[in-house]
Structure formats: C-alpha cells, structure tokens
Amino acid sequence: MRITVIGTGYVGLVTATCLAESGNHVFGIDKDEAKIQILLNNGLPIYEPGLLEMVQKNRREERLKFGTDLEAAIRQTKLVFLAVGTPQSDTGDADLRGIWAVGEAVGRILNKLQAEGDTSKRILIIKSTVPVGTNRELTERMKAMGCTLFEVASNPEFLKEGAAIDDFMKPDRVVVGVRSHETAEILRELYAPFLRTERPFLVMTPESAEMTKYAANAMLATKISFINEMANLCDRLGADINDVRRGMGHDVRIGFQFLFPGAGYGGSCFPKDVRAVMAMGRKMELPLPMVEAVDQVNEAQKQVLPTKIRQHFGDSLAGKFIAIWGLAFKPRTDDIREAPSLVLIESLLAAGCKLRVHDPEALNNVKQIYGDQLIYCDRPYGALEGADALVIVTEWQEFRNPDFEVMRRLMRNSVIFDGRNLYEPRQMESLGFTYYGIGRGRSKPESAN
C-alpha cells in the first residue's frame, strides 16, 4: 500500500518506518523543516533503540521518504495517518489544534483533487491520542468544508518508548475504530503482517477506540501509583516492598507488569492521558476520584527522593555535592518530559546543592533546560567524584551491576538513594554504604550498627 504519515515525532516516525519495513511505500510528512532535514541527512530527531538502522534501510530501499509537501504525498496515497502532537493544555485537556490544522489542510487538498476529477476515497487514520469524540468532530469539520470522498478512522497506538519497534511489529492487539466494514477490511489487510501469531484485530466504534487508549494508560498508571503508595507504607511499617510485590505479583489476577515501585512515572503519555481522562470527566460532570487520586499520588511520589535526602542531611544539605544517575523518565529513551529527575534537580538546586549528572541519552535535553547550573558527565563514575551521595532516578541497565569498590573510593560519603530499588539493602550494608530504597527503609553499613 501507499501511505502518508503526517507528523514525524515519536509515534509518526515509528509508524512510518515499521509500515515501510513490511513492504509499504510510506511518505513521512512534517511542517518542521529542521526535523525533516535531520531525517534526510540520515539522522533521527529522537532516540529509540533500533530505529535509526531501520529508517536508513528503508530509505535505501526507497520505501520510506520524508518531506514537507503534504499535497504531493496525498496525491499518491489513499491512507493518511495523523500522528501529530496533542499536548496537555492549561486546563488538562488534550490540545487538538494540531489535529484541526491537519484536518483543514487535508480537506483543502481533497477538495482540490476532487475538482480535478480524482474520485478516489481517502481514509484518514487518527494515530494521535485524542479525547473521545475527536473522530466525529474531525469528520464534521471536513464535511463542512465540502469534503465527501473520505472517512476518518481511529487507530490508537500502544507503543512503549524504548521498545516501540517490537511493540509495533509484534503488537498485543490492534484496535481500530471505524464506521464502515470496507475501511475495517482495508486496515485489517494493512496490519495482517503484524498479526501472524494470532494476535487480535479489534474492530469497534471510533468512540470506543479513542476511549480504549485512555482507559489502558489510566489502568497502567493506577498500578504504578498503587505500588508506590504501598511502598511508602512499607517504609513506615518496616516491611520490604520487594517481598510484598513478589507476594502480590504471583497472583495471576494481578501480575508483575507495572508493579515496580519508584520515584514516580513521567513521559509524554501517562501524565497527559490521566489528566485528559480527568478533563473528560469534568466535561461530563462525572467525578472520577480514582483517576484523580492516581495523578495526585504520582505527583507526591516525585517528592519522595528529595524528602529522603533532606531527612538524611538535615540542615547541612546546602553545599553538598550530589551525583544523579538517570535523567530520562525511563531507560532506553532520551525523553525527559514530566521526568522525576527534573523535580529532584529543582529541589536540590533550591537547597543549594551542587549537582553532577549522568544519563546515557538525555544529557543534551537536560542541558537545554539547566545550562551551566549542572555538571554534565559522560560516564557514570565521573559523576561520583567527591560526591556526598548518589541518587539513582532511572533504571538504565548499566547501573545495575557497578563496581561498588570504585564507587566508594570516588565518593566523599558512601550514601545511595536508590529510586528504582536496583540494589539489595543487605549487600549495600556489607559493602559499607548507607542505602535508602523505595519501600525498603534505610540500611546502615555493618560497621555503623
């Protein structure tokens, strides 16, 4: 098939590339000329493991092309994916100005093509995360422009940053919201190569498809906030949340996924989508206390590490050298949107600390915010030189088995605040570290007991 994908951000770029990988001819279109130039120069505007190689391969084989000319792309294609950003507005709603602008642009092009005698029907497929009713409103807006030969379908994405290619190529399920059997069958054919292991292709109304995305993310965010709340209670009661988590997760009704305590969730999806659900509830005058609590718990959780650090150092926190490992909101990405690390950095800077920070991918993004307020280290051990404490915020794989003897020699004080529970408290005790986990209390060095 010949396909246009509008938007070359995270979702659009992964979608365009994976569809090209399965043999389709795909045009990736974006109004941001700088972003397109990066792609034309064989670079990527984002970091996602394995994506660069796949983009370059499909460009070489001429199945994937990038540009800014939307009309030229639509003239050659029948399927048009909308993958533009829908950021959170000041009220918590999704900002749909990008969707409406693209719909208007596509509508003008379709009217022009129809006037020229092109009677081919185009299918617009909303890949962006949008509130329930967006599909219907976009349809009505385009009809008001005089467009007739089109249909708007909904096809929410379920991509995890850091594992997006696998998620697209081997999906748990594909959800489509359509108003005609014909469109459902076209999309079924498009996704057939990705569903050969009998994963389901779920057809429903656009409204249900739109809601599925939000409900799924709200459920996952709920699991994270719940286990974080239990971890905080374990800290007070002397229980170990890791043991509790294992005791819970082996119940098949609960499972282990998203049941890891930490410093709070971040990123471009969970915070925004949870608040969008809250906004939809307010519009319908329907209270959603559980969803609201999920957001409140998560925002409070981002203060857990700063609180532990203040309690440990007391009045002597000002002037301390603190090392931070992990700035991205999760491993295998450079995304720092809503990252717990930013809350930590703000708190420690306000307390007068000096910060040395390391992240395998997100250093440049953080530098754009903080400039010379921080010391940026290319290597994790470089951040530890003279440090009064280490704070781990992101569970990058390379942090899991460091050389603790080297760490002790480099650090001024052997104190670790582990926001992802990477290490075992008893091991840290035996190695001479004062160790704080999440929901695991505080462990002192054996010599201090």
Binding residues for NAD(+): 30, 35, 86, 129, 161, 272, 337
Contact between 264 and 347 (Cβ < 8 Å): no
Contact between 207 and 136 (Cβ < 8 Å): yes
Rounded-to-integer distance, Cα 429 and Cα 386, Å: 21
Instruction: Please name which of 71, 139, 129 lies closest in space to residue 100, comparing C-alpha atoms.
Output: 139
Beta bridge mates, 154:
126, 177
| Residue stretches of the annotated binding site | 30, 35, 86, 129, 158-161, 213, 258-262, 266, 272, 330, 337
CA triple 245-268-355, angle to 5 deg: 80
Each as own residue / partner, the long-range contacts of residues 402-409 (CB below 8 Å, 24 or more positions apart, any chain) are 404/431, 404/433, 405/431, 406/381, 407/381, 408/432, 408/433
Which residues 6+ apart lie within 8 Å of 124 measured at CB? 80, 82, 103, 106, 138, 142, 150, 151, 152, 153
Beta bridge mates, 355:
322
User: Is residue 269 among the annotated active site residues?
Assistant: yes
| Residue stretches of the annotated binding site for substrate | 158-161, 213, 258-262, 266, 330
Instruction: Please name which of 67, 11, 80 lies closest in space to residue 39, comparing C-alpha atoms.
Output: 67
Rounded-to-integer distance, Cα 80 and Cα 152, Å: 9
Catalytic residue (one of 18, 147, 234, 269): 269
By annotation, the residues acting in catalysis are: 269
